[in-house]
């Protein structure tokens, strides 16, 4: 029952395995979605699936996905486990990996939208998690600034639980470039930081705003703080210094979502 691999398929496996690195994702305009859950989310979200790699002897769940992919004329390669392991970043690959095309449309800023700005957020799992919360609380998009981790690496895609397929994002060289774009669109910017003059979450406008979350260790840069319209602070017990970046982002977005209901 050994599957015969063509040299074209071998080249595709090599390409796929290179997409763990942010640089290759941008060069190839392709990224990976691993596992049955993300594959199902990709199918439902209408992203462009270029190719699927399926492990031979896969589970019934993966077989159903496989059939659906073939029905949609997605080229599928049946691979032995060792090749799926080569592509997959997960410790225990789940039998299916999709090659997805980066979206052509980028985030458009609307005066009455709700946006999140991430400044130098390093951890790809955190970035993915924040996208998941942003979609859960009906935000319209995420501005990724400076050294913020690539959202299309396997770890970020997994952390987003599929929100990366649907929530628009845009890249900016740094926080200042994003602040400039927001100003152009008439959207006020609020930095999440302890600045002395910080507002409380319920003093934020309900819509037409952008909330900025800083680096996990260093927070918001002075440059971005100076460009913000105001800062916002989540009240706490005083026993800890701060909340984690994904928790601070989620609590602020929940506050706006809660008030609209």
Helix (H) or strand (E) holding 137: none
Quick one: residue 46, left, alpha or beta (phi over 0 = left, psi -120 to 50 = alpha)? left
Task: Examine residue 92 and tell whether it contacts a second copy (CB under 8 A).
Answer: no
161 vs 177, which CB is nearer to a second copy?
Answer: 161
When binding is defined by CB under 8 A, the residue of 137, 152, 172, 190 that contacts a second copy is 137
Task: Examine residue 258 and tell whether it contacts a second copy (CB under 8 A).
Answer: yes
Quote the CA–CA distance of 9 and 28 in Å, as a whole number.
17
Task: Please classify residue 89 by burial: count the beta carbons closer than 10 Å to its beta carbon, then call 0-12 exposed, 13-18 middle and 19+ buried.
Answer: middle
When binding is defined by CB under 8 A, the residue of 94, 163, 191, 198 that contacts a second copy is 163
Tell which positions 17-76 bind a second copy, by CB under 8 A.
Answer: none
Tell which positions 209-248 bind a second copy, by CB under 8 A.
Answer: 234-237, 239-244, 246-247
What is the number of other CB atoms lying within 10 angstroms of the CB of residue 37? 15
When binding is defined by CB under 8 A, the residue of 49, 54, 156, 250 that contacts a second copy is 250
196 vs 235, which CB is nearer to a second copy?
Answer: 235
133 vs 191, which CB is nearer to a second copy?
Answer: 133
Count residues contacting a second copy (CB under 8 A)?
Answer: 30
- Selected range binding a second copy among 19-27, 70-78, 155-163, 178-186, rule: CB under 8 A: 155-163
**Nearest approach, Cβ of 12 to a second copy (angstroms)?**
29
69-to-19, 72, 74, 220 alpha-carbon distances in Å: 21, 5, 5, 43
When binding is defined by CB under 8 A, the residue of 70, 112, 138, 203 that contacts a second copy is 138
The pair of three-digit structure tokens given for residue 225, joined into one six-digit string? 């703080």
Quote the CA–CA distance of 50 and 41 in Å, as a whole number.
15
Query: SS3 of 41, please?
Result: helix
166 vs 207, which CB is nearer to a second copy?
Answer: 166
Q: Which of 206, 213, 209 is nearest to 256 (CA)?
A: 206
Binding mask 117-136 for a second copy (x = CB under 8 A): ------------x--xx-xx
For 155-189, give one letter per residue: b (16+ CB within 10 A) or e: bbbbbbbbbbbebbbbbbebbbebbebbeeeebeb
When binding is defined by CB under 8 A, the residue of 162, 175, 214, 219 that contacts a second copy is 162
Interaction site with a second copy (CB under 8 A): 129, 132-133, 135-138, 159, 161-163, 166, 234-237, 239-244, 246-247, 250-251, 254, 257-258, 261
């Amino acid at each position: 029952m050994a599957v015969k691999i063509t040299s074209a398929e071998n080249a595709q496996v090599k390409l796929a395995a290179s997409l763990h690195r942010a640089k290759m994702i941008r060069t190839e305009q392709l990224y990976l979605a691993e596992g049955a859950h993300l594959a199902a989310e990709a199918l439902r979200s209408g992203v462009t699936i270029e190719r699927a790699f399926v492990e031979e002897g896969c589970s019934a769940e993966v077989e159903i996905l496989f059939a659906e992919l073939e029905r949609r004329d997605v080229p599928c390669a049946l691979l032995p486990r060792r090749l799926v392991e080569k592509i997959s970043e997960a410790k225990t690959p789940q039998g299916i990996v999709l090659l997805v095309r980066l979206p052509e449309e980028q985030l458009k800023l609307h005066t009455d939208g709700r946006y999140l700005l991430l400044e130098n957020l390093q951890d790809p799992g955190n970035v993915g998690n924040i996208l998941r919360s942003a979609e859960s609380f009906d935000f319209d998009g995420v501005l990724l600034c400076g050294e913020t981790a690539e959202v299309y690496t396997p770890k970020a895609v997994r952390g987003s639980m599929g929100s990366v397929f649907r929530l628009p994002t845009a890249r900016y060289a740094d926080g200042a470039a994003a602040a400039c774009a927001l100003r152009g669109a008439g959207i006020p910017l609020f930095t999440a930081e302890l600045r002395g003059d910080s507002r409380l979450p319920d003093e934020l406008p309900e819509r037409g705003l952008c909330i900025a979350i800083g680096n996990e260790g260093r927070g918001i840069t002075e440059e971005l703080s100076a460009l913000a319209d105001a800062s916002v602070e989540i009240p706490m017990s005083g026993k800890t210094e701060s909340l984690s970046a994904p928790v601070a982002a989620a609590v602020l977005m929940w506050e706006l979502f809660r008030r609209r209901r």
